[in-house]
Structure 1
Amino acid sequence: MVDDTSDTDEDGPLDRDDQEIGATVAGDDDALLGVLPHFYRGEVSQANSAQDRIDRTTDWAITLLAAVLSLVFSSRNMPAFLLLIGIFVLSIFLFYEVRRYRFYDHWRARVRFVQENVFANALEPVGVEHPAWREELSDDLRNPTFKVSTREALSRRIRRVYGLLFAVAGVGWTFKVTMFTPEQQWTEAAELPGLHGALVAVILGLFFAGVIAIGLWPGGREAKGEIHGVEPGDWKNE
């Protein structure tokens, strides 16, 4: 029986020394300090890229709302339901942005983790926030997870941006079906095919009540951050 293991070892996968090259860095403080800045710059770049994607979504949402408002109020004959379509599309943008925000928070949390456990202690060595920070960061690199829940991300984007956009659209709809259509009853201006205007108003009111409830929903903070006087959340939601 022919033994082919020598050929396999020679031409096959990397040997153990090559596979464990990262472990040699862990045992050498100078090598580790040489690697960390590159890692940090990479995470900052990822966070900036994710932030740009969020900003683009927000810009499109604002542009859409401005376009719909301009169209609806350009003539008395323009129907009010165009604003309802605008609200629906804004909701789609919101859910896209929630997912993008969760990715952004993922990268941002890593950046802050390195800042508070490495750079802050380098400037003033009073101890680290997480004694096992290297193990925690290593685990997150091997098993990356979102640091913020969908509910919290949705609540934060509503409070920061979309609550105001929805409010502007809602006020615009109210003015359109009342003051800008004096020749009709508001219920006639608000009606949709098969739906009475009063029912449309009730549905819209329930929608805004849901938006307000989500935006103000109480709960423990999971997103990483210490700005605006808010207590910082956990580094990672296990």
Structure 2
Amino acid sequence: MDAPATERKPLDSAEMGVIAHLYRGEVYRSTIWRTRLDTTTNWSVVTLGVALSITYSSPQASPLPLVLVGILIIFFLMLEARRYRYFNVWRARCRWIELHFIAPILKDGDLHLDDHWQDRLADDYLHPRYHVSMWTAVGRRIRRNYFWILLIQSFAYLGKLMVHPVPVTSFGELVGRAAIGPIPGWAVLGLGGVYCLSWGLISVWSGRADTARARKRRDPLGMG
């Protein structure tokens, strides 16, 4: 009697060699994209450092550079989140191969093809897609790196308003110093609060979504 069509024959030595080369290629791609993540983070740190140097160069220096650098930080954050979505694809494939191919070989020599883990990997190659949404990626990058960058930016801006050119003596004076041209200080501080709060909410929502996704997984590791 013929074997069922869904049954996968054992992998021969040539096929196992192909998977080994495939794993090495995916590791290389994940390494390259991981380096690109570090690059955008470095850009954010450098631009924030330049803004801090300009703003605190003298008591009379304007705090405006710390406001404008927020635009660049947002740009770098979105760019890094996009790169993270690519990196996450290669990372998930590497981990999937490690879990279902390399680990079983080392442990008992049985690849457990009857579990059809290879079908999921094949489907990921046949129909490539991102494993996480853009906002999930943004939240993860904020929790990993950008929380501290945004925190330093916010405290440095408020510190500048409070100490230069002389220490503030009232909240009204602080609001007055925050004014930018025709834009009143209360509007600038309000936008700053929304700026910080929005990224914080995205970070919290992303963290809870990741936790909920992990609880629903039927396997010990899901792609993404």
Q: Describe the SS at the equivalent of 1:79.
A: coil
Structure 1 partner of 2:42: 59
Aligned length in residues: 205
CA displacement at 1:137 relative to structure 2 = 1.3
CA displacement at 1:222 relative to structure 2 = 8.7
Q: Describe the SS at the equivalent of 1:216.
A: helix
Indicate conservation of the 8 Å contact 1:80/1:189, yes or no: no
CA RMSD of aligned residues (A): 2.4
Structure 2 partner of 1:29: 12
Could you state the TM-score of these two structures normalised by the residue count of structure 1?
0.79
Structure 1 partner of 2:209: 219
Q: 1:30-78: CA deviations, max 9, x gaps?
A: 1111111111110000000000111111111111111110111001222
CA displacement at 1:127 relative to structure 2 = 6.6
Percentage of matched positions with identical amino acids:
28
1:98 aligns with 2:81: yes
Structure 2 partner of 1:157: 141
- Aligned counterparts, 1:137-148, within 5 A: 137-148=121-132
Q: 1:108-128: CA deviations, max 9, x gaps?
A: 000000000001101113775
Structure 2 partner of 1:201: 189
CA displacement at 1:223 relative to structure 2 = 8.6
- Aligned counterparts, 1:63-212, within 5 A: 63-125=46-108, 131-182=115-166, 185-212=173-200
Distance 1:159 1:210, change over 3 A: same
Residue identity opposite 1:192 in structure 2: I
Distance 1:192 1:96, change over 3 A: same
Q: Describe the SS at the equivalent of 1:219.
A: helix
Q: 1:64-107: CA deviations, max 9, x gaps?
A: 11111011100122211110101111011000000000100010
Structure 2 partner of 1:48: 31
Indicate conservation of the 8 Å contact 2:77/2:146, yes or no: yes
CA displacement at 1:129 relative to structure 2 = 9.8
Q: Which has the higher helix share?
A: 2
Distance 2:47 2:220 in 1: 35
CA displacement at 1:181 relative to structure 2 = 2.6
Indicate conservation of the 8 Å contact 1:190/1:197, yes or no: yes
Q: Which moved more, 1:149-158 or 1:27-36?
A: 27-36
Larger radius of gyration: 1
Indicate conservation of the 8 Å contact 1:152/1:222, yes or no: no
Residue identity opposite 1:140 in structure 2: D
Structure 2 gaps, min length 5: 1-8
Structure 1 gaps, min length 5: 1-25, 225-230
